[in-house]
Structure 1
Amino acid sequence: MGSPLSPAIANFFMEDFEEKALRTAKLRPRYFFRYVDDTFIVWPHGPAALNEFLEHMNSVHPNIRFTMEKEDNGQLPFLDILIKKREDGTLSHSVYRKPTHTDLYLNGESHHHPSQKRSVLSTLLHRAKTISDAENLEKELEHLKTTFRRNGHGERDINLALKRTFEKPERMKEKNPSPEPASRQGVAFAEQRRRYLHERLFLQLLKIVIFANRLAAASSNSSTPSPCLS
């Protein structure tokens, strides 16, 4: 699992890396988006220059290597999004599933806790709502409802999940006006405190790293040995 600081430090490194790489590139992409270690770019300079850009990205750091996947038939998967180019040049987006995907999820007739089974439905519906554009949303919802039925989920649970996902928050609050339990408030406060402590720890670690780098640079540039205590 690693340290909670690892993703933040990795992002700092990649931000510095891509800033240097794009600054020194002969040609730059029109758009450059990165999520962790996956990058999506729009390249307007032709396929030959694209291969040169890939070689340039792989030459910036000896331990960073990129692979490339180009659009095929006007479409390209990125993470769990399928991006398609329309005839007018705009882009549409829908949920992407790999060819090996089986649509098998936690079965509705299993002996898991009902909240766990409800979370399967809510998570997939939320993903459909977030990723799919207007022209692809209805098709995705029909696919999910068929998938839920095949996985043993009843119509009542499916309809409740749809209402939870697509009803406005104001209407849900009107139906559930009860205040948040004190136990949940305590959990939320504990989570905020944990994040605050992690941020403080990261800042202290960052200061130590910067100080160590400056000390090492000063020692290497000095012609006389540094004094020490014995």
Structure 2
Amino acid sequence: MTGRALVICREAGRTYGRGPVAVVAVHGTNCQVDTRDRIAVMGPSGSGKSTLLHLMAGLEQPTSGEVVWPWYADGVGPKAWVRARAMAIGVVFQSPSLIATLDVAENTGLPLVLAGESADRARVRALAALDRVGVADLAGRLPDDISGGQAQRVAVARVLASRPRLVLADEPTGRLDRSTGRHVVDVLLAAVDEIGAALVVSTHDQAVGERLPTHWTMRDGRLHLHPDGGTP
């Protein structure tokens, strides 16, 4: 660990369904992400990587154990807490999920607007984030007019616009060719370095995993940590 804890999982697990049809996606997991950590969560599809990241982001609730964010101040109301978490934790999904009727700048600034920023302020921050990942020239284009690699860079910019403390990237290169995926990882690493955010990337691609110094492995919903940073 490299600094202050941003998220801690304490025996956190996630089961879908009940009884004989129950599926354990993540068994009781203990792990911690600190400031400026760079972690690759490796494992095949279906091993529980995405569910683990969703638990860390607060997008899903654990069915056992708990996930805590130590920077969260007790006494903050539920609505304020949801907004604070949304601004402090950014998630890059496998699919960019851009809204077809909004241009690139509007897509990038939308989470800020939803969090209460003015449209003008959100646009300023969106344009800065797009410039940070090298696609400022696409600001006025619609999603259907850009490539898959460009769309994923826009998705990275959308997360970075809020300058989060923690970025969780869930198979960010999973739908890209090797060259484009490598460039997206370059952009992502440079951007989190610039804003000083921690980064956790889930991937089944060994080449992506090797870009980060710390490796965790998911197998059948169980997380295996490697304190020396290496893979088994």
TM range (shorter): under 0.3
Greater percentage in strand: 2
Greater percentage in helix: 1
Question: TM-score, normalised on structure 2?
Answer: 0.25
